């Protein structure tokens, strides 16, 4: 799918923090963090985050950061899409926009974590890797016993080179 002309991809602002928090809650599948954290990401990490909006309504977002221990990497932490906007190819467009943020432009590696049962995210990141001619390495990262009971493990995805 090509990007729909009415969808705008932009850096988040402080005003987006609470809306992102509400969207995370609405997805029903993402780990919900404090509203304060989303406000912090939108304010202090806006150069590595993206929101997608259409006619002023938030459709989706990505949050991420540069990894101090691996400066060649950009880490995509969360990607969320409003349930009404799913199935429009927005996930891939958001990852593309994320990789073009000021904080990601010189990164050579895309990193993320995905739980083993999340086939949709696995497919999304495999597609991004294919699109960029990159290799995907998957390894253990956080086991389920690192989390409170009921939280699935998270596998580490390393996609390189992304440029």
Per the structure, the complete domain to which residue 137 belongs is given by 7-160
Q: Would residue 33 count as lying in a domain?
A: yes
- Cβ atoms of 87 and 101 within 8 Å: the answer is no
Q: Would residue 149 count as lying in a domain?
A: yes
- Which residues make beta-bridge pairs with 54? 7, 57
User: What pTM, to 2 d.p., does this model score?
Assistant: 0.92
| Residue 112, both tokens | 């993320």
- Cβ atoms of 30 and 61 within 8 Å: the answer is no
- Cβ atoms of 88 and 1 within 8 Å: the answer is yes
Query: The CATH number of the domain where 104 resides is what?
Result: 3.40.630.30
Q: What is the mean pLDDT of residues 144-158?
A: 93
Q: Would residue 68 count as lying in a domain?
A: yes
Q: Would residue 1 count as lying in a domain?
A: no
Looking at residue 28, its pLDDT comes to 87
Q: Would residue 147 count as lying in a domain?
A: yes
Q: What is the pLDDT of residues 89-123, one digit of tens each?
A: 999 999 999 999 999 999 999 999 999 999 999 99
Q: Would residue 2 count as lying in a domain?
A: no
Q: Would residue 96 count as lying in a domain?
A: yes
DSSP string, 24-36: HHHHSSSPP--HH
Looking at residue 4, its pLDDT comes to 47
Number of compact structural domains in the chain? 1
Q: What percent of the chain has pLDDT over 70?
A: 97
Looking at residue 1, its pLDDT comes to 47
Q: Would residue 114 count as lying in a domain?
A: yes
């Amino acid at each position: 799918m090509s990007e729909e002309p009415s969808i705008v991809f932009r850096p988040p602002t402080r005003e987006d923090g609470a809306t992102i928090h509400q969207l995370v809650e609405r997805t029903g599948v993402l780990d919900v963090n404090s509203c304060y954290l989303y406000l912090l990401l939108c304010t202090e990490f806006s150069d590595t985050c993206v929101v997608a909006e259409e006619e002023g309504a938030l459709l989706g977002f990505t949050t991420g950061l540069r990894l101090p221990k691996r400066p060649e990497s950009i880490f995509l932490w969360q990607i969320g899409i409003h349930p009404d906007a799913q199935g429009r190819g927005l996930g891939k467009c958001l990852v593309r926009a994320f990789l073009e943020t000021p904080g990601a432009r010189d990164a050579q590696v895309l990193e993320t974590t995905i739980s083993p049962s999340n086939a949709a995210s696995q497919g999304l990141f495999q597609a991004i890797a294919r699109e960029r001619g990159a290799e995907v390495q998957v390894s253990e990262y956080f086991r389920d016993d690192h989390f409170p009971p009921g939280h699935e493990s998270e596998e580490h995805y390393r996609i390189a080179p992304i440029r």
